[in-house]
Amino acid sequence: MKRQVFGLIFIVWARFFGLFVILPVLSAYASGEAWQIGLAVGAYALSQIMFAAPFGHLSDKIGRKKALALGIAIYGLGSVLCAIFSDSIYLLILGRFIQGAGAVGAVASAFIADIVPENSRSKYMALLGLGVGMAFV
């Protein structure tokens, strides 16, 4: 159980770390006006807000592991678009939007809630939050 939980925490941490580490680089090297760069940064959060609930519902139907795998694949697709094919700010914005569409944070939280006993749930949710916080650091 602990191995699974820490694997889920690592997935969430790695996604956030990958997003946060690029922000200073994005603002320094992205070609576009300030509002376009701001949209490229915010597109991830916007699409994550839009897709978190549908992804949670999907994970109830197809299972947590499949939903996590799908979300990671969507995030990977957006990452490839950002890293390789974004020769314009508009493709970068699209790639960031696709990255956010792979909203697996809620699915990871639900998965942790499914596999840990109720009396330990708050401890493991706090560890998930710690992982997100460490990505900021």
Mean pLDDT value of segment 106-122: 89
Across residues 83-109, what is the average pLDDT? 87
Give tens-digit pLDDT for 16-43. Answer: 777 666 666 666 666 778 888 888 888 9
Tell me what the mean pLDDT of segment 65-85 comes to: 90
Q: Do 89 and 31 meet the contact criterion of CB atoms below 8 Å apart? A: yes
Angstrom CA distances, 100 to 15, 74, 116, stand at 10, 8, 27
Element of type H or E holding 106: helix 105-115
Query: Of 101, 97, 98, 90, which Cα lies nearest the Cα of 30?
Result: 90
Walk me through the domains of the chain, giving residue ranges and CATH numbers: 2-136 (1.20.1250.20)
pLDDT at residue 29, rounded to an integer: 63
Q: What's residue 34's pLDDT?
A: 80
Round the average pLDDT of the chain to a whole number and report it. 85
pLDDT score of 59 more than 90: yes
In 3D, which of 137, 132, 26, 133 has the Cα closest to residue 89? Answer: 26
